[in-house]
Amino acid sequence: MPITEYTEERVAELLRALPPAPAGWVAAAAELPRARAELDRIVELATADADFRLALIEDLEAALRSAGFAADRRRVVELQRRLAL
């Protein structure tokens, strides 16, 4: 393994090499556990409630919103996959 000498220039270069990711991306990734739990709840609801499932099939985004759930793109895509819509 080569030994790096941490000169001022090298430290500066390496610190600049990792700029922060956009804050919104980080927040969305950090929220994954909660988002997944909510997704599971929506799937459970859709399984237990035929009317809700029908509403999701007709207009997924509108049905989510009217049930009080956010309807962002990732959630919509994931639900389409999980509900085989």
Nearer residue to other proteins within complex by CB, 35 or 55: 35
The CA distance from 74 to 80, in Å, is 10
Judged by CB, which is closer to other proteins: 18, or 48? 18
Q: Which residues bind other proteins (CB under 8 A)?
A: 1, 3-4, 6, 8, 11-12, 14-22, 25-26, 28-30, 32-34, 36, 74
CA 28 to chain centre: 6
- Cβ 29 to other proteins, closest distance in Å? 4
Min separation Cβ 74 and other proteins, Å: 6
Nearer to other proteins, 38 or 55 (CB): 38
Annotate 6-44 with DSSP letters as a single string: --HHHHHHHHHTSPPPPHHHHHHHHTHHHHHHHHHHHHH
Shortest approach of other proteins to residue 48 CB, angstroms?
23
Q: State how far the Cα of 65 lies from the Cα of 31, in Å rounded to an integer.
A: 19
